[in-house]
Amino acid sequence: MDDYWFCDWEPSERWPHYTRANAGEVLAPPASPLGQTFTWDNGTIIGWRDGYIRQGYFTEGEMSDFRPEVGGFFGGFFYINLSNVRMQGVRNPAVTIEGLDLAFFGEHPDVPEYVEHPDDVNEELTDGILSHMGWVMSVTEWPEIEEAKEKTKALRKDRPALSSLTPAELVVRARDLQPLLIETYNTHCVAASSSGVAPGILGAVGEAVGDMTVPMRCITGLGDVDSAAPSYFLWDLSRSVSTSEFLTTAFNQGVEGLLGRISEAGNSDAEDFMSSWNEFIFNFGSRGPNEYEIFADSWETNPTIALALLDRIRLQADEENPTDRHAKIAQSRVETIGLVREKLSEIANEELSGQFEAALIAGNIMVFQERTKTNFIRVINEIRVTFEELGKQSETSGHISNHKHIYMLTDDELDSYVSDPASMKETLEERFSTYEQLQELEPPFFIKDGIVPPLNTYKKLGTSIVESAASGDVLTGVAGSPGTVTGTARVILDPTDPFDLEPGDILVAPLTDPSWTPLFMTAGAVIVDVGGQRSHAVIVSRELGLPCVISVTDGTKRIPNGSQIEVNGSTGEVTVI
């Protein structure tokens, strides 16, 4: 293996620090060459840059036109440019670097120190940034993303019969979708970057009233979170499984071949299930593990992944209905807001009271964050299924030996490949072999000072030795979602293999993305190794009323699988019993 992957970026001299925080949440494995160059270099990254400029944090031309410095790919792995993100803390009077780092990393011990660059401060940007902040604290509706929701849903509804398209036509279709990547990630950047405003203000309110649980209690149970919607659907479907003797027997035989067994049965339970299942895949099939990467299967391209999640949910008791749980946590939010208003009235701080009301409105951004991400993911999946078809046609024609080899192309090789596909076969096989080796590596969490370590220094996944916690040990993370639960720890490293998770178990994961969300329906609480207040695990746990602790460093390695633990989502403590 070479020291560097052939389509890696050059690190930025201007903004030299990079991090896997949040990056690993959206793209855990290395990116495929086509995934990186087609969907990121020539789509997502551009929308991300434009979203930063839109919020006022950067001037036009301050970042590069090609591969702008908002992120980077090293060893094939995706990184967020930490130095670049910190410009929000430098240039926004309402945000600090310390607060920004806390939202990203929790209490991670290795965060690189901020060193000011001569061009960091730009007071000419201040008015634009404050104008954007005013929008964040007053917005209740965002028509732009509602229009994008309908537009991206129509992509699936109006999808042509891909098998009838020629390879050249498939490439044209994929390219026609690239502008939508830019458009949808522009709005997602705005939402994601702005989602820390509400917790930041509420933190000051909590300090003033002497209750630091105020921030999470006031932005818990917001409702209408798009990434939770598939889980509600699966919950309803799971009830039909648990009450049907036929469906229960079918699931007990395993998820492999399950859809075939059900569809061939011909009874009413089977027909109803298949009708609901097809509706689920049509509406939510774009989701899946590592859904930002087109090489990775979605629920549509590999339904077994979603069936495995449904298999766990069906075991949950009826009284764990997520709608009821959400209603309770939403009511708790209303009560908390009332109590805080009373306390603020008692201390007669009109300015802080005004900020509190503004922060409650700014909490809408967290809902918008999940909606903009969902819009973006729909576009990603349409590109995925298009290239899946191109790969299958190429395999059938004998131009590649495995349809997944199509993802070893780069964007600028697509046209020449379509013209002469046989000429690339050996190159794609060699790249695929190296790509499989990359997936066995553990990338460094930080890249500091623009120094990218060579691949031969990366650790193999699973080789790091960490001492397990013993009875009585308390692991400290960051409070994510309130509540205290005691249960059995279940360390799950892959959402496609969740079969050890039983109802009420504590889900211990390295991180989560929306593909993990249905497992939250089975879990009694959630713990993740990395993540901040804006992470997926926090937002969905608050939606479903689950205690959650984030940023428990090496939690999946330190917490013994099967041990009894207590999770305190209000304090951020995990105690091994």
**Chain segment 244-265, per-residue pLDDT in tens:** 999 999 999 999 999 999 999 9
For the segment 321-336, the average pLDDT, to the nearest whole number, is 89
Among candidate residues 338, 365, 369, 349, the one with its CA nearest the CA of residue 214:
338
Using the predicted structure, report yes or no on whether residue 210 has a pLDDT greater than 70: yes
- Per residue in 213-234, pLDDT (tens digit) is 888 889 888 888 888 899 999 9
Confidence of residue 391 (pLDDT cuts 50, 70, 90): very high
Helix (H) or strand (E) holding 568: strand 564-568
Task: List, in order, residues 6 or more apart from 285 with CB less than 8 Å away.
Answer: 156, 298, 299, 300, 301, 303, 381
Q: In the chain, how many H helices and how many E strands? A: 24, 14
Contact 549, 480 (CB under 8 A): yes
Backbone angles phi, psi at 327, to 5 degrees: -60, -40
pLDDT for 224 equals 85
Q: How many Cβ atoms from other residues are within 10 Å of residue 279's Cβ?
A: 12
- State mean pLDDT over 272-286: 97
Evaluate the CA torsion angle 267, 273, 275, 278 in order and state its sign. negative
Alpha carbons 376 and 412: distance in angstroms, whole number:
23
Least confident stretch, 60-74, 324-338, 413-427: 324-338
Mean pLDDT of the chain: 93
Identify the band that residue 411 occupies on the pLDDT scale cut at 50, 70 and 90: very high
- pLDDT of 200: 84
pLDDT digits (tens, 9 = 90+) for 440-454: 999 999 999 999 999
Phi, psi (5° rounding) for residue 64?
-70, 155
3-state secondary structure of 441: strand
261: left (phi over 0), alpha (psi -120 to 50) or beta: alpha
**Percentage of the chain exceeding pLDDT 90:** 76
What 3-state DSSP class applies to 346? helix
Mean pLDDT of 357-383: 95
Model confidence at 286: pLDDT above 80 = yes
**Does residue 197 have a pLDDT over 90?**
no
Per residue in 95-107, pLDDT (tens digit) is 889 878 876 776 6
Please give, one letter per residue, the 3-state secondary structure of 91-158: HCCCCCHHHHHHHHHCCCCCCCCCCCCCCCCCHHHHHHHHHHHHHHCCCCCCHHHHHHHHHHHHHHHC
Q: Is 241 exposed, middle or buried (0-12, 13-18, 19+ CB in 10 A)?
A: buried
Given this model, what pLDDT does residue 199 score? 85
The span from the CA of 185 to the CA of 372, in Å, is: 7
Choose which CATH entry (3.50.30.10, 3.30.365.10, 3.10.20.30, 3.40.640.10) describes domain 474-576.
Answer: 3.50.30.10
**3-class state of residue 528 by DSSP:** strand
Look at the alpha carbons of 445, 450, 451, 457 in this order and tell me if their dihedral is positive or negative. positive
* Average pLDDT for 7-16: 97
pLDDT value at position 107? Answer: 66
What's residue 466's pLDDT? 87
- pLDDT for 555-573, tens place per residue? 999 999 999 999 999 999 9
- Give mean pLDDT, residues 300-311: 96
0.85 exceeded by pTM: yes
DSSP string, 69-87: TTEEEETTEEEEEHHHHTH
Q: Is the pLDDT score of 129 beyond 80? A: yes
- At residue 527, does pLDDT exceed 90? yes
Domain range summary for the chain, segments of one domain joined by +: 18-142+152-167+392-438, 474-576
What is the reported pLDDT for 106?
63
* Residue-level pLDDT at 150: 98
